[in-house]
């Protein structure tokens, strides 16, 4: 009999996500056996798959579907002059206030005005707050054997600069003409003071950035183009559209390099927050690098013979932050026949495992058939073979890690070579010939639609 779904929960709390993702091998506190390190997290077997799928989907969207966007993977450690030219040494700061009594440190914008005026610490109550001081967010380290100023380098706080300093290299070798883009995924580091909300804001994180080089007269057109494209990307990733919105930066929010900026925000359990920034960086970066390096970074249009410094429209997404969005958005609970069912409704194209393969029981040759099937399916899909425990429990485990399809080999398989395919979302099962499993799953992935309330079209139709 088909399982019956009765009630579902609307929202998820961060505590629920932290505990589920630890229990199911998505995300662990870093160095946990030593008590952990604040704001650092490790991605476990499920988490690393999910992160890779999101990254692959972004990379495909950028470099495969746009023949005028090419990829790059620049070093994290760069010449220190890069960060002087970029303006980060001077401007990439947060105003911070310390309490001399309890030693707590706060971002000035996160303490009530009256506390600042009275110098009263919001934590310990002592009237010992310092004045606000600028604190640079870049991590520093030293390269080479001597720890002096000469060897001082920074861990990059954004991946973008690796793209700008390679502008000429790509232009000369990439067979590209303006308008064109350079895409890059990689780690970035910021010495963030307020790190809470799990992986939302961490000191070490990953970005997926694309810098689109254009003629200055076309900035409005291309800004609009990328704004719409990037919103659609998250919808295609399976995020519910009603949880996404734009937020335009006011004059006091704009980064030092931006003329115009919109965030794509997501409604996290702790409110609407930035997920991606789309910036019109004008010719700021290429001009500054021309000035600081003494190298000409202008572009010559071979048709019009015009020489100019291109403008840049940047799309800057947080990869690790997107993992949080995907988890929060996918989380669902419902009561099924009196028992709570927890299910992660990932879009099948980014689910860590695509197909679970089970023998109904371990005996009578069913394991052998299922094992062989799993070995075949894993050529095309990420597959997980499981023969331990009751079949209902095995389905529930896969629901909790968001596996969209489960294939079960039973006694009927031995007679007619058919198996069942169970859909994670609807819990419905259909019977298909073994030869039809791959085409059925392929089609279900392509046609997938998350239906409001949870259940989806599944494997039918």
Helices of type H across 268-333 = 284-293, 319-330
**Shortest gap between Cβ of 95 and ligand GAP (angstroms)?**
16
- Smaller CB separation from ligand GAP, 105 or 442: 105
User: Nearer Cβ to ligand GAP, position 257 or 448?
Assistant: 257
CA end-to-end span of the chain: 21
C-beta closer to ligand GAP: residue 190 or 450? 190
Here the tokens at position 9 are: 């929960």
Structure tokens at 252: 């006091």
- Tell me, what DSSP letter sits at residue 243? G
| C-alpha dist (Å) from residue 62 to 187, 229, 327, 339, 448 | 18, 10, 23, 43, 22
For residues 21 and 316, which CB has a smaller minimum distance to ligand GAP in the complex? Answer: 316
Contact residues for ligand GAP, defined by CB under 6 A:
158, 160, 190, 192, 201-202, 205, 207, 209, 274-277, 314, 316-318, 320-321
Task: Return the structure tokens found at 227.
Answer: 């704004």
Shortest approach of ligand GAP to residue 167 CB, angstroms?
A: 15
User: Nearest residue to ligand GAP, using CB?
Assistant: 318
Where helices occur in 301-403 by DSSP H, the ranges are 319-330, 366-377, 391-400
Q: Which of 155, 116, 121 is nearest to 136 (CA)?
A: 155
Handedness of CA 57, 62, 67, 72 (dihedral sign): negative
Q: How far is the CB of 89 from ligand GAP (least distance, A)?
A: 16
Least distance in Å: CB of 201 to ligand GAP?
A: 4
Contacts of 385 (CB under 8 A, 6+ apart): 356, 357, 358, 370, 371, 374
**Min dist. Cβ of residue 381 to ligand GAP (A):** 29
Q: Residue 105: beta bridge partners?
A: 98
Minimum Å gap between C-beta 290 and ligand GAP is: 19
- C-beta closer to ligand GAP: residue 187 or 397: 187
Of 312 and 444, which CB lies nearer to ligand GAP in the complex structure? 312
Burial of 447 (C-beta count, 10 Å sphere; 0-12/13-18/19+)? middle
Least Cβ distance, residue 51 to ligand GAP (angstroms): 13
Beta carbon nearer to ligand GAP, 181 or 348: 181
Long-range CB pairs of 392-396, under 8 A, 24+ apart, other chains included: 394/356, 394/358, 395/356, 395/422, 395/427, 396/341, 396/342
Q: Indicate the residue among 313 and 373 with the shorter CB distance to ligand GAP.
A: 313
In angstroms, what is the minimal distance from the CB of 248 to ligand GAP?
14
């Amino acid at each position: 009999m088909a399982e019956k779904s009765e009630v579902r929960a609307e929202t998820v709390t961060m505590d629920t996500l932290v505990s589920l993702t630890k229990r199911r091998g998505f995300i662990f506190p870093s160095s946990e056996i030593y008590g952990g390190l604040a704001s650092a997290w490790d991605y476990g077997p499920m988490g690393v798959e999910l992160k890779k799928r999101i990254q692959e989907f972004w990379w495909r969207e950028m470099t495969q579907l746009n023949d005028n966007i090419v990829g790059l993977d620049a070093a994290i450690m760069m010449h220190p002059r890069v960060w002087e030219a970029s303006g980060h040494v001077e401007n990439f700061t947060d105003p911070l206030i310390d309490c001399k009594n309890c030693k707590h440190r706060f971002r000035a914008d996160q303490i009530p005005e009256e506390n600042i005026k009275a110098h009263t610490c919001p934590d310990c109550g002592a009237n010992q707050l310092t004045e606000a001081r600028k604190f640079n967010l870049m991590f520093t380290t030293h390269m080479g054997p001597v720890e002096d100023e000469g060897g001082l380098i920074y861990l990059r706080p954004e991946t973008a600069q690796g793209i700008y300093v390679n502008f000429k290299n790509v232009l000369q070798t990439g067979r590209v003409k303006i308008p064109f883009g350079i895409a890059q995924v990689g780690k970035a580091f910021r010495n963030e003071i307020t790190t809470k909300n799990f992986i939302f804001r961490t000191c070490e994180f990953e970005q997926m950035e694309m810098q689109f080089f254009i003629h200055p007269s076309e900035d409005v057109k291309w800004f609009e183009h990328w704004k719409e494209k990037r919103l659609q990307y998250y919808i295609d990733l399976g995020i519910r559209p009603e949880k996404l919105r734009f937020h335009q930066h006011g004059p006091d929010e704009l980064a030092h390099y931006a003329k115009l900026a919109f965030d794509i925000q997501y409604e996290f359990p702790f409110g609407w927050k930035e997920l991606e920034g789309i910036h019109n960086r004008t010719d700021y970066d290429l001009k500054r690098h021309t000035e600081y390096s003494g190298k000409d970074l202008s572009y010559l249009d071979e048709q019009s013979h015009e020489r100019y410094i291109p403008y840049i429209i940047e799309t800057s997404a947080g990869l690790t932050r997107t993992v949080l969005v995907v988890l929060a958005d996918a989380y669902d609970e419902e009561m099924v026949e009196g028992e709570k069912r927890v299910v992660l409704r990932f879009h099948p194209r980014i689910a860590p495992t695509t197909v679970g393969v089970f023998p109904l029981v371990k005996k009578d040759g069913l394991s052998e058939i299922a094992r062989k099937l799993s070995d075949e399916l894993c050529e095309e899909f990420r597959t997980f073979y499981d023969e331990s425990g009751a079949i209902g429990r095995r389905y529930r485990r896969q629901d909790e890690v968001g596996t969209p399809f489960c294939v079960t080999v039973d006694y009927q398989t031995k007679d007619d070579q058919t198996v069942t395919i169970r859909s994670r979302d609807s819990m419905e099962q259909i019977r298909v010939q073994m030869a039809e499993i791959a085409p059925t799953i392929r089609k279900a992935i392509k046609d997938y639609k998350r239906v409001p309330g949870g259940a989806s079209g599944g494997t039918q139709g």
